[in-house]
């Protein structure tokens, strides 16, 4: 049997190559994303090893709440320590040196007037105090000297390069305290490189750092070097005894590990995100394997029957098919693994292009990646070939005596029954996950979506004939007999057509779903904004939590006569009633004049230093009413009882979605020391035109190069455009599934052509030109593609509808079907059909007529 | 009945393979087929009958010499022009698998016309369909027709575009004698009543006797010829060449 298998493999090289490529692409993507994730993790691991290399112990405030978990990366959870603690720690026996450490937001403005770096969606822009103890300083001067006065700074070589600065220049630095002027007295490098993973750094003296970045008299923590011969844990032990309550000490090793773990946590989200696309690609690939082996088995059923007739057992026949799948799967997985390294580099480049600047140096292929990729590639191949293999074994020996055994184009009851059942289960799981109250909804929704697609693919056999008949109807008028033949060919084997189309169906379902979802999200944002925002301008920083606009800017706007009302927006991480969340703060008085968020109970004006506003539904769920006390834990000040003072209707304020609660700025003033404004909203005074208003506002913002002044329309556009990079990324990643589907169509067509050699030869003999032959194959392909697209759009529409309605709570108040986009998707899918047909059509046209006629 | 030439060859030579494996399938064959005639080609297996037919019909290329349809030299034509000649001037009937399974009988019959984007001459079509006796079967697919009916559809298809010449390679080879006789009768009728030109390859002396002229091939050469054959005279001649 082994020899037969090998012979079969050789004889069907081309088919198996395309089938193999389908698996290869999936595996390559999987190993690529695993490799990229591992590489990024590795890069950060090394970074933190370098940063904490000279630190034996670190003293810091105790965590106010635990924000470890995906989505909370970078959340500040600890209060700062008093500067006086430095001398206490330094005095502990065994401590060789101790120094306060401070890091915060600072952004240098280049000579061209533009701020260097994009803290909103790129590496952070740091400011800090210049460590005088060399062991704590990961940077070293390459020019000039350390800052000695409060108006002197050292910048990293990357910033010096981008901002066009050299030692001796005067530069503007954006800080919490507003833009400041400082003299660049030195330029420093991070080890060998200009800057650490693309982040920028402005170093001040301790006093200036406290003033501009944090709070006078405070440090983030205290770095410690031990005396020679003193272990990290021993020195930490001694320091611990000297610490006041509310502070703690950890070893340098622990510090390194914690930082590494935080990054790994944050990346796990990225890893999951990429894995979803690997699974999609492999899922689509499995359809190709299934289909190819089904057709091959059908075409070889005579040979199988012969084998059975001369004494091969069923198991031997099954195994021979599975062995083929195993060989193909293994080869594809191995090659895919290799290709994965290229994919990783490509993904990184792609992320760069789309605007996610990801640090990664030198690709890291882990053992885990190798094993997962190989196992997944091989197992997928075997599972997908299992059903065709079983079918092969069922070929009766007698079939060898019968004439041509074409694939049974049956619509077996079992398939339809199972398809219906799986679809029903999938829909149930999906809806259950979305609307039900389950512990792990995402997983249930994913499973539901997967099952729905498998079920619909199985049911496709019911629709393949009527659908292609309908879709092909105009073709006859357009293309005459070629079109007629194309339509008939698409209709002749519903099972093959539907399985082939399934792969594309899945791709289109996902693309359609994302498109519908994104357009609904944008429409919802716009609608809410239009309904509630009564202001005229938004000054946007483009950041979310780290850094932003100096509060000074809002103050200055308030003093501008052309501006009638101002409200600024701040964000911080807190623990609210037991859950870590982003807390939003607004200027309550200004807010009422800028947005009508539908306050149903209480008053915004009541939002004092202990007031809390809660969204209606959340209040109901939590049984909160006006006057309810809600515990909120802040990093700096610990747990505070806030009192519900207002209950409102909308889920978003001025385009900021997911707003389940907010507080007045007074709460921020009291509990969040280094607050920045993410946005500042402004309403113009009566009689001031938009042009005059803009001029007045821009006169203020001119000093803040990170401030973007946008009128209503500009802001709306910018808000909705925020989804675009992510959307673009998802589209590109889904493209992979579409390419695999394309391979699948090409494969089926190729196999069909082999099967129809005689028929094609006959057509050529009686006068079909090569061009007509190509056109016939192409249109068949387009019909299959359109059929898949139609199914995909149906499924995508359902997914989109379900998700949008499930998220009604989160402010999704519009379900929008983007007709134009969906039409474009359909046209593109038809083009996929054209591309997929290119090679098979050429081969069919090149067919040797005589050989075709003579073929047995 | 016109006496012009529908197709002819001039020193047609076809060699397959090279060196040791060289086979001369046609050895400088010069032969003409008059319009309005029913010609049968006979000869032992491997004598080059199919090859001759394929080369005159523009399905295969000669190694040397020339083949003409009417007065068009096929060797001067590219694939596209050959295809157009096939669909406009030539009709084909093969031994089996003559029909496109996805098309109905009528669609199969009009296929060459449809490929040319031409409207069928309805009157002619009715005549042809009437002649082969298929009027009530036109909406059926090939799989719903018997082997004999399928060949009748093939004959009708070959005649539908009123070609200059029809080539049939053992058209009755797969049929029982009754069905075969029917087909031959139709072909004869097409020549006599509808003034068509048919060239048919056959192994069967009775079939050959339906033709007005029989050409004998052996080893790629025309070795003999008979006009107004009867089964007996054909058989006699065949014995002469040891078939
Ligand atoms: N494609 C080919 N390659 C090599 N030799 C060929 C090829 N086609 C035909 N031949 C040879 O050319 C010779 C003539 O073949 P041809 O098919 O014309 O014979 P035929 O008279 O039609 O025979 P039959 O009665 O068996 O159909 C034979 O010897 C055959 O082996
Ligand atoms: Mg022959």
Measured distance CA(A519)–CA(A515) in Å, rounded: 6
Measured distance CA(A20)–CA(A24) in Å, rounded: 6
Percent of chain B, pLDDT > 70?
Answer: 98
**pLDDT: which is higher, A26 or A300:** A26
Average pLDDT of span A431-453: 84
The answer to whether the beta carbons of residues A652 and A530 sit under 8 Å apart is no
Do A766 and B54 lie within an 8 Å CB cutoff? Answer: no
Instruction: Tell me if chain A has a CB within 8 Å of the CB of B143.
Output: no
Residue B186 has pLDDT above 80, yes or no: yes
Do A768 and B87 lie within an 8 Å CB cutoff? Answer: yes
Q: ipTM of this model?
A: 0.89
Residue B228 has pLDDT above 50, yes or no: yes
Measured distance CA(A275)–CA(A282) in Å, rounded: 10
Q: Mind listing the pLDDT tens digit for each residue in A242-261?
A: 999 999 999 999 999 998 98
pLDDT of residue A681: 92
Alpha helices in chain B (DSSP H): 49-56, 79-89, 105-109, 111-116, 122-132, 147-160, 177-194, 205-208, 231-240
Sign of CA dihedral A415, A417, A419, A425: negative
pLDDT of residue B95: 84
Contacts of A482 in chain B (CB under 8 A): 115
Residue A387 has pLDDT above 60, yes or no: yes
Average pLDDT of span A464-476: 88
pLDDT of residue A84: 93
Instruction: Tell me if chain A has a CB within 8 Å of the CB of B78.
Output: no
Measured distance CA(A506)–CA(A35) in Å, rounded: 26
pLDDT of residue A435: 84
Contacts of A762 in chain B (CB under 8 A): 94, 97-100
Q: What DSSP string describes A343-396?
A: HHHHHHHHHHHHT------S----HHHHHHHHHHHHHHHHHHHHHHHHHHHHS-
Please report which ligand is nearest the Cα atom of B217. Answer: 1
| B172 CB within 6 A, ligand 1 | no
pLDDT of residue B1: 41
Burial of A135 (C-beta count, 10 Å sphere; 0-12/13-18/19+): middle
pLDDT band, residue A674 (cuts 50/70/90) = confident
CATH of the domain at B95: 3.40.50.300
The answer to whether the beta carbons of residues A147 and A199 sit under 8 Å apart is no
Average pLDDT of span A756-776: 90
How close is the nearest chain B Cα to the Cα of A472, in Å? Answer: 14
Tell me which CATH code domain A542-706 carries. Answer: 2.40.70
Nearest CA in chain B to A478: B117
pLDDT band, residue A434 (cuts 50/70/90) = confident
How close is the nearest chain B Cα to the Cα of A817, in Å? Answer: 38
pLDDT of residue A12: 66
Q: Are strands A247-251 and A81-82 parallel, antiparallel or unpaired?
A: unpaired
Phi-psi region for residue A10, left (φ > 0), alpha (ψ -120 to 50) or beta?
A: alpha
Average pLDDT of span B62-75: 91
- In A420-562 the beta strands, taken as DSSP E runs, fall at 537-540
Measured distance CA(A703)–CA(B78) in Å, rounded: 76
Q: Mind listing the pLDDT tens digit for each residue in B192-210?
A: 888 899 999 999 999 999 9
Q: Compute the distance from residue B221 Cα to the ligand 2 centre, in Å.
A: 15
| B44 CB within 6 A, ligand 1 | no
Average pLDDT of span A516-544: 87
The answer to whether the beta carbons of residues A179 and A172 sit under 8 Å apart is yes
Q: Are strands A661-664 and A611-615 parallel, antiparallel or unpaired?
A: antiparallel
Do A849 and B92 lie within an 8 Å CB cutoff? Answer: no
pLDDT of residue A355: 62
Instruction: Tell me if chain A has a CB within 8 Å of the CB of B59.
Output: yes
pLDDT band, residue A405 (cuts 50/70/90) = very low
Cα A692 from chain centre: 41
The C-alpha angle with vertex B67 and arms to B65 and B69, in degrees rounded to 5, equals 165
Which residue out of A472, A485, A766 would a mutagenesis test of the B interface target, given it has the greatest number of B Cβ atoms within 10 Å? A766
Nearest atom of ligand 1 to the alpha carbon of B52: 18
Q: Compute the distance from residue B169 Cα to the ligand 1 centre, in Å.
A: 13
Residue A856 has pLDDT above 80, yes or no: no
Q: To the nearest 5 percent, what fractions of chain A are helix, strand and coil? A: 60, 15, 25
* pLDDT, chain A, mean: 87
Contacts of A483 in chain B (CB under 8 A): none
**pLDDT: which is higher, A399 or A604:** A604
**pLDDT: which is higher, A378 or A398:** A378
pLDDT of residue A6: 67
> Per the structure block, which two tokens stand in for A104?
């915060």
Which domain does B189 fall in, by range? 35-54+76-239
Residue A410 has pLDDT above 60, yes or no: no
Q: Compute the distance from residue B115 Cα to the ligand 2 centre, in Å.
A: 27
**pLDDT: which is higher, A391 or B209:** B209
Measured distance CA(A664)–CA(B60) in Å, rounded: 89
| B218 CB within 6 A, ligand 1 | no
> Per the structure block, which two tokens stand in for B111?
């296929």
Instruction: Tell me if chain A has a CB within 8 Å of the CB of B86.
Output: yes
| B63 CB within 6 A, ligand 1 | no
Number of domains in chain B: 1
Do A481 and B94 lie within an 8 Å CB cutoff? Answer: no
Q: Which of the 8 DSSP states describes residue A402?
A: S
Percent of chain A, pLDDT > 90?
Answer: 40
Among A303-317, A551-565, A658-672, B214-228, name the one with the lowest average pLDDT.
A303-317
Mapping DSSP to helix (H, G, I), strand (E, B) and coil, where does residue A537 land?
strand
Measured distance CA(B88)–CA(B164) in Å, rounded: 8
pLDDT of residue A299: 78
Burial of A774 (C-beta count, 10 Å sphere; 0-12/13-18/19+): buried
Neighbours of A197 (CB within 10 A): 18
Average pLDDT of span A618-626: 92
Contacts of A853 in chain B (CB under 8 A): 59, 94
Q: Compute the distance from residue A537 Cα to the ligand 1 centre, in Å.
A: 87
| B25 CB within 6 A, ligand 1 | yes
Q: Compute the distance from residue B62 Cα to the ligand 1 centre, in Å.
A: 14
Instruction: Tell me if chain B has a CB within 8 Å of the CB of A481.
Output: yes
Question: Considering only CA atoms, which of A97, A124, A299 is closest in space to residue A202?
Answer: A124
B67 domain residue, yes or no: no
Q: What DSSP string describes A99-168?
A: EEE-EEE-EEEPTTSPBSS-TTTSS-EEEEE--SSGGG-SEEEEEE----STTEEEEEHHHHHHHT--TT
Shortest-distance Cα residue to atom 18 of ligand 1: B48
pLDDT of residue B242: 60
Do A769 and B86 lie within an 8 Å CB cutoff? Answer: no
Residue among B43, B44, B50, B199 whose CB has most ligand 1 atoms within 8 A, to mutate: B50
Q: Compute the distance from residue B45 Cα to the ligand 1 centre, in Å.
A: 8
Contacts of A489 in chain B (CB under 8 A): 102
Residue whose structure tokens are 């070929």: A395
Do B115 and A765 lie within an 8 Å CB cutoff? Answer: no
* pLDDT, chain B, mean: 89
Q: How many residues does chain B have?
A: 243
pLDDT band, residue A797 (cuts 50/70/90) = very high
CA atoms within 13 A of residue A16's CA, in its CB half-sphere: 24
Q: Mind listing the pLDDT tens digit for each residue in A23-60?
A: 888 899 889 888 888 888 888 888 889 889 889 999 99
Residue whose structure tokens are 């003296």: A205
Nearest CB partner across the interface for B115, out of A488, A768, A850: A768
Q: Mind listing the pLDDT tens digit for each residue in A817-841?
A: 999 999 999 999 899 999 999 989 9
The C-alpha angle with vertex A773 and arms to A769 and A778, in degrees rounded to 5, equals 145
Measured distance CA(A181)–CA(A632) in Å, rounded: 38
Mapping DSSP to helix (H, G, I), strand (E, B) and coil, where does residue A175 land?
strand
Contacts of A491 in chain B (CB under 8 A): 102
pLDDT of residue B67: 93
Burial of B96 (C-beta count, 10 Å sphere; 0-12/13-18/19+): middle
User: What residues have CB less than 8 Å from A469, skipping those under 6 apart?
Assistant: A487, A491
Average pLDDT of span A66-71: 70
User: What residues have CB less than 8 Å from A579, skipping those under 6 apart?
Assistant: none
B114 domain residue, yes or no: yes
In chain A, list all ranges with CATH 2.40.70: 542-706
Instruction: Tell me if chain B has a CB within 8 Å of the CB of A853.
Output: yes
Could you say which residues from 482 to 511 on chain A have a Cβ atom under 8 Å away from some Cβ of chain B?
A: 482, 484-485, 488-489, 491-492
**Helix or strand holding residue A568 (H, E):** strand A563-576
> Per the structure block, which two tokens stand in for A352?
């760069």
pLDDT of residue A407: 46
Q: How many residues does chain A have?
A: 856
User: What residues have CB less than 8 Å from A794, skipping those under 6 apart?
Assistant: A456, A509
Q: Compute the distance from residue B54 Cα to the ligand 2 centre, in Å.
A: 10
Residue B109 has pLDDT above 70, yes or no: yes
Measured distance CA(A209)–CA(B116) in Å, rounded: 85
Among A67-76, A242-251, B11-20, name the one with the lowest average pLDDT.
A67-76
Measured distance CA(A163)–CA(A116) in Å, rounded: 7
B103 domain residue, yes or no: yes
pLDDT of residue A187: 95
Question: Considering only CA atoms, which of A562, A569, A555, A593 is closest in space to residue A694?
Answer: A562
> Per the structure block, which two tokens stand in for A92?
């502990």
| B49 CB within 6 A, ligand 1 | yes
Measured distance CA(A284)–CA(A294) in Å, rounded: 16
Neighbours of B30 (CB within 10 A): 12
pLDDT of residue A642: 94
Measured distance CA(B24)–CA(A337) in Å, rounded: 54
Q: To the nearest 5 percent, what fractions of chain B are helix, strand and coil? A: 40, 25, 35
> Per the structure block, which two tokens stand in for A390?
């079983």
pLDDT of residue A853: 73
pLDDT band, residue B143 (cuts 50/70/90) = confident
pLDDT of residue A10: 63
pLDDT band, residue A400 (cuts 50/70/90) = low
Residue A634 has pLDDT above 70, yes or no: yes
pLDDT of residue B147: 85
Shortest-distance Cα residue to atom 7 of ligand 1: B16
Could you say which residues from 704 to 723 on chain A have a Cβ atom under 8 Å away from some Cβ of chain B?
A: none
Q: Which of the 8 DSSP states describes residue B134?
A: -
pLDDT of residue A810: 74
| B46 CB within 6 A, ligand 1 | yes
The C-alpha angle with vertex B32 and arms to B29 and B38, in degrees rounded to 5, equals 120
- Whole-Å CA distances, A33 to A73, A222, A271, A365, A721: 21, 38, 7, 11, 26
Residue A794 has pLDDT above 80, yes or no: yes
Do B102 and A492 lie within an 8 Å CB cutoff? Answer: yes
Residue A404 has pLDDT above 60, yes or no: no
Residue A694 has pLDDT above 90, yes or no: yes
The answer to whether the beta carbons of residues B204 and B231 sit under 8 Å apart is no
């Amino acid at each position: 049997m082994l020899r037969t298998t090998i012979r079969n493999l050789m004889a069907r090289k081309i088919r198996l190559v395309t089938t193999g490529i389908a698996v290869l692409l999936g595996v390559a993507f999987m190993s690529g994303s695993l490799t990229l994730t591992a590489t990024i993790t590795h890069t950060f691991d090394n970074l933190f090893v370098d940063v904490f290399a000279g630190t034996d112990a670190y003293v810091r405030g105790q965590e106010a709440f635990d924000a470890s978990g995906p989505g909370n990366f970078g959340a500040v959870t600890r209060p700062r320590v008093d500067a006086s603690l430095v001398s206490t720690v330094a005095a502990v026996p065994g401590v060789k040196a101790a120094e306060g450490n401070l890091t915060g937001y600072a952004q240098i403005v280049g000579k061209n007037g533009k701020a260097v770096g994009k803290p909103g969606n790129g590496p952070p822009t740091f400011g800090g105090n210049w460590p005088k103890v060399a062991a704590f300083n990961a940077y070293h001067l390459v020019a000039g000297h350390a800052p000695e006065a409060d108006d002197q700074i050292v910048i990293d070589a990357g910033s010096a390069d981008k901002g066009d600065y050299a030692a001796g220049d005067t530069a503007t630095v954006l800080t919490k305290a507003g833009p400041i002027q400082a003299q660049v007295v030195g330029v420093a490098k991070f080890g060998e490189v200009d800057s650490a993973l693309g982040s920028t750094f402005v170093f001040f003296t301790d006093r200036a750092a406290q003033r501009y970045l944090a709070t006078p008299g405070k440090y983030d923590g205290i770095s410690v070097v031990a005396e020679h011969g003193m272990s990290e844990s021993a020195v930490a032990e001694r320091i611990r005894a000297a610490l006041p309550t509310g502070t703690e000490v950890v070893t340098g090793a622990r510090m390194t590990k914690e930082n590494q773990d935080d990054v790994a946590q944050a990346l796990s989200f990225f890893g999951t995100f990429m894995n979803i696309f690997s699974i999609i690609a492999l899922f689509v690939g499995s359809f190709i394997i299934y289909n190819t082996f089904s057709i091959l088995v059908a075409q070889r059923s005579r040979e199988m029957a012969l084998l059975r007739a001369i004494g091969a057992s069923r198991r031997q026949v099954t195994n021979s098919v599975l062995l083929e799948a195993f060989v193909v799967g293994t080869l594809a997985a191995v090659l895919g693994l290799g290709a994965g390294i290229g994919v990783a580099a490509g993904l990184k480049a792609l992320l760069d292009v789309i605007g996610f600047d990801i640090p990664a140096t030198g690709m890291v292929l882990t053992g885990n990646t190798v094993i997962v990729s190989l196992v997944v590639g091989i197992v997928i191949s075997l599972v997908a070939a299992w059903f065709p293999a079983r079918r092969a074994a069922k070929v009766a020996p007698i079939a060898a005596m019968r004439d041509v055994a074409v694939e049974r184009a049956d619509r077996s009851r079992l398939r339809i029954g199972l398809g219906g059942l799986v679809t029903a289960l999938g829909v149930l799981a999906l809806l259950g996950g979305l609307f039900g109250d389950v512990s792990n909804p995402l997983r249930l929704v994913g499973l539901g979506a997967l099952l729905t697609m498998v079920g619909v693919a199985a049911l496709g056999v019911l629709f393949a004939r009527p659908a292609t008949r309908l879709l092909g109807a105009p073709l006859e008028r357009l293309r005459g007999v070629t079109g007629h033949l194309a339509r008939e060919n698409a209709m002749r084997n519903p099972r093959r057509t539907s399985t082939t189309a399934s792969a594309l169906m899945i791709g289109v379902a996902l693309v359609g779903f994302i498109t519908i979802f994104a357009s609904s999200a944008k429409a919802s944002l716009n609608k809410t904004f239009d309904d509630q925002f009564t202001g005229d301008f938004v000054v946007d920083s483009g950041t979310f939590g780290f850094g932003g606009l100096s509060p000074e800017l809002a103050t200055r706007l308030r003093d501008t006569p052309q501006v009638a009302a101002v409200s600024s927006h701040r964000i911080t991480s807190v623990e609210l009633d037991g859950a870590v969340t982003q807390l939003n703060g607004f200027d309550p008085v200004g807010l009422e004049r800028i947005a009508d968020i539908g306050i149903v109970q209480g008053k915004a004006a009541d939002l004092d230093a202990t007031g809390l506003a809660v969204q209606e539904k959340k209040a109901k769920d939590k049984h909160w009413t006006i006057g309810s006390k809600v515990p909120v834990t802040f990093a700096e000040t610990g747990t505070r009882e806030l009192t519900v003072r207002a209950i409102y209707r909308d889920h978003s304020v001025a385009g900021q979605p997911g707003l389940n609660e907010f507080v007045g700025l007074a709460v921020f003033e009291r509990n969040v020391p280094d607050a920045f404004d993410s946005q500042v909203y402004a309403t113009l005074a009566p009689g001031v035109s938009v042009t005059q208003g803009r001029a007045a506002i821009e006169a203020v913002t001119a000093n803040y190069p990170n401030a973007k002044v946008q009128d209503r329309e500009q802001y709306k556009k910018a808000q909705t455009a925020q989804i675009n990079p992510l959307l673009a990324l998802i589209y590109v990643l889904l493209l992979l599934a579409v390419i695999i589907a394309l391979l699948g169509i090409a494969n089926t067509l190729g196999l069909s052509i082999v099967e129809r050699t005689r028929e094609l030869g006959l057509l050529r003999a009686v006068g079909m030109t090569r061009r007509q032959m190509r056109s016939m194959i192409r249109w068949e392909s387009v019909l299959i593609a359109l059929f898949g697209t139609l199914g995909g759009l149906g499924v995508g529409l359902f997914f989109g509808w379900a998700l949008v309605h499930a998220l009604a709570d989160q402010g999704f108040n519009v379900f929008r079907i983007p007709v134009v986009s969906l039409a474009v998707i359909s046209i593109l899918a038809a083009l996929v059909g054209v591309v997929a047909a290119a090679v098979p059509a050429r081969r069919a046209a090149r067919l040797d007529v005589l050989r075709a006629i003579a073929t047995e | 009945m016109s006496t012009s030439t529908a197709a002819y060859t001039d020193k047609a030579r076809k060699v397959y393979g090279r060196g040791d494996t060289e086979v001369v399938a046609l050895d400088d064959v010069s032969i003409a087929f008059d319009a309005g005639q029913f010609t049968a080609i006979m000869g032992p297996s491997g004598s080059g009958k199919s090859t001759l037919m394929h080369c005159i019909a523009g399905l295969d290329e000669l190694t040397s010499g020339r083949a003409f349809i009417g007065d068009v030299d096929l060797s001067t034509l590219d694939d596209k022009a050959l295809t157009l000649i096939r669909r406009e001037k030539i009709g084909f009937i093969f031994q089996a698998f003559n029909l496109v399974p996805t098309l109905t009988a009528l669609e199969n019959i009009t296929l060459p016309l449809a490929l040319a984007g031409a409207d069928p001459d309805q009157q002619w079509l009715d005549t042809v369909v009437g002649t082969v006796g298929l009027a009530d079967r036109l909406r059926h697919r090939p799989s719903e027709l018997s082997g004999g009916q399928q060949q009748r559809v093939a004959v009708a298809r070959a005649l539908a575009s009123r070609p200059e010449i029809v080539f049939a390679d053992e058209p009755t080879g797969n049929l029982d004698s009754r069905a075969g006789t029917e087909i031959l009768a139709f072909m004869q009728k097409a020549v006599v009543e509808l003034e068509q030109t048919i060239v048919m390859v056959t192994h069967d002396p009775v079939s050959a006797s339906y033709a007005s002229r029989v050409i004998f091939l052996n080893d790629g050469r025309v070795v003999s010829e008979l006009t107004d054959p009867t089964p007996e005279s054909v058989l006699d001649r065949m014995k002469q060449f040891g078939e």
